[in-house]
Amino acid sequence: MISVHDHNRDAWDELARQQVPLARPAGEKEFGKPQFIINPFGWVDFDVRGRKVLSLAAGGGKHSVLFALAGAETTVVDISPAMLDLDRKAASEQGVKVTVVEASMDNLAVLPEAHFDLVVQPVSTCYVPAVAPVYREVARVTAPGGLYISQHKQPANLQASLRLSPVGYTMIEPYYQSGPLPPVPTGSALRESGTLEFMHRWDELLGGLCRAGFVIEDTFEPRHGDASAAPSSFGHRCWFIPPYFAVKARRKTTATPAPKLLVT
């Protein structure tokens, strides 16, 4: 049976070939307002020039190139060779240097320890079965005091029906879900068709960060809801269920042993 890793690598290669919006390199809009991508919440509180930045699971030629143009020493990690090709092409077109690494976010063994001042991860932990190994790896490669800014799909977003029923958007997946979510038809703005996606619970997403050696400094729920949008559209569903959340975490400067969970 094909592994989750290989399945999602092939699925993202295909999405890149289809040039879906998430696989579009930086264009006029992003070059005009790079902070919308490299510092969308105002959480990066230092000049990235000369600093080591990891764009994690961020292939596609957007994050890496904008950080490199801002003067950062930039590495992009992604599972999909086709997404990474977009980074190579965009970097060459812009005349900037980007280190391109094909790896899975839950195994960053090729990257050095305590190296990065900033790790930025767009919504992507939904593509791995467990989030704890991702946090463990990010904690290993982040310098003490370094920032880790990540975005995730909210659990309820992955639990609820995509379409409106007569009683509203209904919870169709359990919170204590294990294994991949059922596939979705193409064209959903909330799920990526062809990929295997996994729901992670709040405790795993937030508590997991603390247990991996980070301190959470802030969180944010980007607003996408539109009360006047057509039923079952992206904006309408987001009016009922916020799709994503972002979290700002800082790598602890002193190593403290991870606390043991007393209950499971």
Contact flag: residue 198 with ligand SAM (CB under 6 A): no
Among 26, 38, 44, 57, binds ligand SAM (CB under 6 A): 57
* Residue number with CB closer to ligand SAM (164 or 220): 220
Contact flag: residue 125 with ligand SAM (CB under 6 A): no
Among 12, 116, 148, 198, binds ligand SAM (CB under 6 A): 12
Contact flag: residue 139 with ligand SAM (CB under 6 A): no
Contact flag: residue 62 with ligand SAM (CB under 6 A): yes
Among 108, 123, 206, 212, binds ligand SAM (CB under 6 A): 123
* Residue number with CB closer to ligand SAM (12 or 135): 12
Among 104, 154, 157, 159, binds ligand SAM (CB under 6 A): 104
Measure the CA–CA gap between 222 and 217, rounded to whole angstroms: 17
Nearest 5°: CA angle at 85, between 14 and 61? 95
List Cβ neighbours of 242 (8 Å cut-off, separation of 6 or more): 154, 156, 157, 221, 222, 223, 224, 225
Near ligand SAM by CB under 6 A, which window of 116-124, 209-217, 231-239, 242-250?
A: 116-124
Of 180, 178, 124, which is closest to residue 1 (Cα–Cα)? 180
Contact flag: residue 79 with ligand SAM (CB under 6 A): yes
Among 44, 54, 111, 128, binds ligand SAM (CB under 6 A): 128
List Cβ neighbours of 140 (8 Å cut-off, separation of 6 or more): 108, 113, 114
Measure the CA–CA gap between 191 and 182, rounded to whole angstroms: 11
Q: Which residue is nearest to ligand SAM (CB)?
A: 60
Contact flag: residue 131 with ligand SAM (CB under 6 A): no
Near ligand SAM by CB under 6 A, which window of 58-66, 108-116, 173-181, 210-218?
A: 58-66
Among 30, 73, 78, 197, binds ligand SAM (CB under 6 A): 78
Measure the CA–CA gap between 179 and 192, rounded to whole angstroms: 17
Residues 16-35 touching ligand SAM, rule: CB under 6 A, are: 22
* Residue number with CB closer to ligand SAM (140 or 252): 140
Contact flag: residue 136 with ligand SAM (CB under 6 A): no
Task: Report the interface residues with ligand SAM, using CB under 6 A.
Answer: 8, 12, 22, 57-60, 62, 78-80, 83, 104-105, 122-124, 127-128
